[in-house]
Amino acid sequence: MMQEPIVEAKNVDVNIDPSGFSIENLTGYALEYGVPLLKAILIYIIGAFIIKKLVKLVSKLMDKRDYDLTLKKFLTNLIKWVLTILLVVTVAGTLGIETASFAAILAAAGLAIGLALQGSLSNFAGGVLILIFKPYKIGDLIEAQGELGAVKEIDILVTKLITPANKLAIIPNGPMANGNIVNYTAEGKMRVDTTVGIGYGEDMKQAKDALLAMLESNPKVLKDPAPSVNVSELAESSVNLAVRPYCTPEDYWDVYFWTIENTKLVLDREKIEIPYPHAVEIQKEA
C-alpha cells in the first residue's frame, strides 16, 4: 500500500493586504506624511494667530499717532499680506515642498510688476509720504502743479481738488510729493491782494482813509492781522495803492470780489479819479 506524501505546514503572513499594503507600510506612511502635515497645520494656526495679533497692535499704534485712515488701512493690509505669504512659504517647506522655486517666482513677479507699474509706484510712494507728513489735509485750500483748489480727497495714488470753477482736478501724488505746495489754509488766515491806481492830482491820504474804512466795514475782513492800504508804485500815469485785507480761506473769493467792486464804488463816491491808461499815437508825415 502506497503512503501519501507528507506536506510540511508553513507559516502564512495573515497581515498581507490583497492590495499590496501591510499594516507596517501604513504605519510608515503615517509617520512619513502625517507628522509633517500635523506640523504644517499647527504652524499655520499659530502663525495666523500671531499675524492677527500683530496687525491689531500696528493698527493701535497708528491710531495713537493719528495716522490717516487711508494710510492705516493700506499699511495694515500690506503687513498682513506679506506675513501671510511668508507663513504659506514656511508651511510649504514643512511639508517638504521646495521653497526655492517659490522665492524665484515671487522675485520674478515682483520685478515684472515693478517694471510695469513704475509710474504708479512713484505715485504710491508720494501718496505714502503725503499721508505720513501731511502737508495738506481734506478741506485745505492749496496750490500745486499749476492747480488751485480745495482738497476733496487724498488717495494712495492721487490727490483730488475742487477748483474755484467747481471742476475736479486729479493730480498724481508723485509730482505732488516732489513739487512745491502752497497751503493757504495751514495758518488759518489769507491775505487778499488787490491794487488800484489813482491820479497824481488826487488826495492820496483821502483815498487811503476811504479805502481803509471800507475794508474795516466788512465783517468777513479780519481785525488781526489788520487790513492795510499802502502806496505800492508810482506808475507812469497813476499812483498805485495796494489794498490788503485778511480773511479766512473759506471767505477768500467773497472778500476778493467784494474788495474790487467796492474799491471802485468808494473812489467814485469820494470823487477820486481812477485814470485811464494813457497811449501816445505818433503819426509820420508823408
Helix (H, G, I), strand (E, B) or coil at 150: strand
Using one digit for the tens of pLDDT, what is the confidence trace for 4-62? 555 454 444 444 455 555 566 656 665 666 777 788 888 888 888 898 888 888 888 88
Checking if the pLDDT of 72 tops 50, the result is yes
Q: What is the mean pLDDT of residues 199-228?
A: 94
The three cell numbers locating residue 181: 505746495
The three cell numbers locating residue 221: 475782513
Q: How far apart are CA 172 and CA 162, in angstroms?
A: 15
DSSP E strands, 156-269: 158-162, 168-172, 181-183, 190-191, 194-198, 228-234, 239-244, 246-247
Using one digit for the tens of pLDDT, what is the confidence trace for 131-158? 888 899 888 889 999 999 999 988 888 9
pTM above the 0.85 mark? no
Radius of gyration for the alpha carbons in the chain, expressed in angstroms and rounded: 40
Half-sphere exposure of 242 (CA within 13 A, CB side): 12
Burial status of residue 11 (CB atoms within 10 A of its CB: 0-12, 13-18, 19 or more): exposed
pLDDT at 28: 60
- Torsion-angle region of residue 233: left (phi > 0), alpha (psi -120 to 50) or beta? beta
